[in-house]
Structure 1
Amino acid sequence: MSEKVAMSKKVDYKKDYKALYLPKTSPVIVDVPRMPFITVSGSGNPNGEEFSRVVEALYSLSYAVRMSYRGDEVPEGYYEYTVFPLEGVWDLVDRTKSAADKNNLKYTMMIRQPDFLTPSWFERFLEQTKKKKPNSHLDHVQFEHVEEGLCCQIMHVGSFDEEPKSFAAMEAFCKQNGYTRASKLHREIYLSDPRKTQQEKLKTVLRIQVEEREG
């Protein structure tokens, strides 16, 4: 394979950003910096076909950016990197209903992008992806920067349905260490493919925004 750009470095999120993506199975406080993402927002059951198409749209565009070094024009500052994992920020459509009702879920799914991606290159890759891999959700993909700031996170190992245990551990940790939860939203970072991994072995980073308690 002939490479059209000299790659002076390779970024692997599991090595270079270990603190953000590989926490321990006990809660920890992290300061999450401003980062570029492509995002799609929606609602409904994440086990449905519609959600799968959202995820496909994000991955197809992310791999277009990753493989752009093969093109005739390459983004300035391009470097080799491992595609970042899928992430989701979750909320409820109706907060008077149970969080166990998956049809009541509201989400913004996203994949972090390399810092050489610019708005103009995003538009170019988006148009290319729409032609090569048509998907109606590509019409709703946004390119934006997100800065979470101070957060508490944990590595949850096991089924998604068992996440409340990990959230309870984070809440208890924050209470004991002078932090309060700053938002009812939470972030999930998916390090395992649920289609290929046994539920008890799934690894998911759970993260909530916090603030230091006064007094």
Structure 2
Amino acid sequence: MTAAKVDVRKDLDSYRARSGRFRLLDVPPRRYLAVDGAGDPNTSPTFTAAIETLYPVAYGLKFASRDAGRDYVVPPLEGLWWADDIAAFTSARDKSRWHWRLLLLVPEWLGPDDVDAATAAAAAKGAGPRLADLHLEDLHEGRCVQTLHVGPFDDEAGVLRRLHCEFLPAHDLRPTGVHHEIYLSDVRRAAPDRRRTILRQPVE
């Protein structure tokens, strides 16, 4: 019998969230493909290039793993976002001041050698305009609060204000890491009002 494909959106608790509910959870250490950048994601060519770099390597990893007998669904795109002033996210929404790190999860049974091979294969095909900037990121978030946002990205501001100004103080929590988003919907296909995004904040 062929083993079922692993799908982190179904198999891992940290990829589950409900709209309108903030949930505390512990996120174990995980490893990601990562590309960094800064500026407005809607206008920055480096942002688009980062996405175009991550996916060829991610699919190379998937196909190599499948050929070795363990198949999986390529995980959803994720992003870490930060700015010198939190208001750049929660009220001003000044995207020109944002910094970001785009991520794609690497399954735990794959290691750096597998990533090197997939990166070399992408380079040989001329895929990935920012392969020189691609790196592995080990993320140790630990205790987090997360929720599901349904709708346009620019409507996240109200949810983030409630998180930082209401939920965290009410539960005697404070942020310890940067804002993390998990894009459950394909932004190229989903209408803005139907986009499903997990919003996560590491806390203590």
Structure 2: gaps spanning 5 or more residues: none
Query: What pairs with 1:4-15 in structure 2 (closer than 5 Å)?
Result: 8-15=3-10
Kept after mapping to 1: 8 A contact 2:88/2:98: no
Q: Which is strand-richer, 1 or 2? A: 1
Per the TM alignment, residue 58 of structure 1 is displaced from its structure 2 partner at its CA by 0.6
1:97 offset after TM fit, Å? 8.1
Deviation at 1:201, TM superposition (A): 1.1
2:174 maps to what in 1?
Answer: 180
**Which secondary structure state, in structure 2, belongs to the residue aligned with residue 179 of structure 1?**
coil
| Cα 1:114–1:177 shift into 2, 3 Å | same
Tell me the number of residue pairs that the alignment of Structure 1 and Structure 2 aligns: 198
TM-align CA RMSD: 2.0
Deviates more, 1:49-58 or 1:7-16: 7-16
Question: 2-side partners of 1:160 and 1:97: how far apart?
Answer: 16
Worse-superposed segment, 7-16 or 132-141: 7-16
CA distance in structure 2 between the partners assigned to 1:124 and 1:115 by the alignment:
16
Structure 1 segments (4+ residues) deviating >6 Å: none
Aligned position for 1:22: 16
Aligned-partner Cα distance in 2 for 1:124–1:152: 35
2-structure distance, mates of 1:39, 1:90:
13
Helix, strand or coil for the counterpart of 1:60? helix
Q: Does 1:42 align with 2:32?
A: no
Deviation track 1:59-108 (CA, whole Å, cap 9, x = no partner) reads 1110110011466xx4xxx521111111110012x539844222221111
Residue 170 of structure 1 is matched in structure 2 by 163
2:142 aligned with 1:149: yes
Give the aligned residue type for 1:58.
Answer: L
CA deviations on 1:7-46 (whole Å, 9 max, x unpaired) are: 54421112211x2112011100010101111101111221
Partners of 1:180 and 1:210 within 8 A in 2: yes
In structure 1, C-alpha distance between the alignment counterparts of 2:87 and 2:169, rounded to whole Å? 26
In structure 2, how many angstroms separate the alpha carbons of the residues matched to 1:9 and 1:21?
18
Contact 1:189/1:205 (CA < 8 Å) preserved in 2? yes
Distance in 2, Cα, partners of 1:96 & 1:33: 25
CA distance in 2, matches of 1:139, 1:7: 37
Q: Which residue of 2 aligns with 1:3?
A: none
**5+ unaligned residues in a row in structure 1: which ranges?**
1-5
User: Residue in 1 aligned with 2:187?
Assistant: 194
Cα distance, 1:142 vs structure 2: 0.6
- Quick check: 1:52 aligned with 2:48? yes
Q: Residues 101, 174 of structure 1: CA spacing in aligned structure 2 closer, same or farther, 3 A cutoff?
A: closer
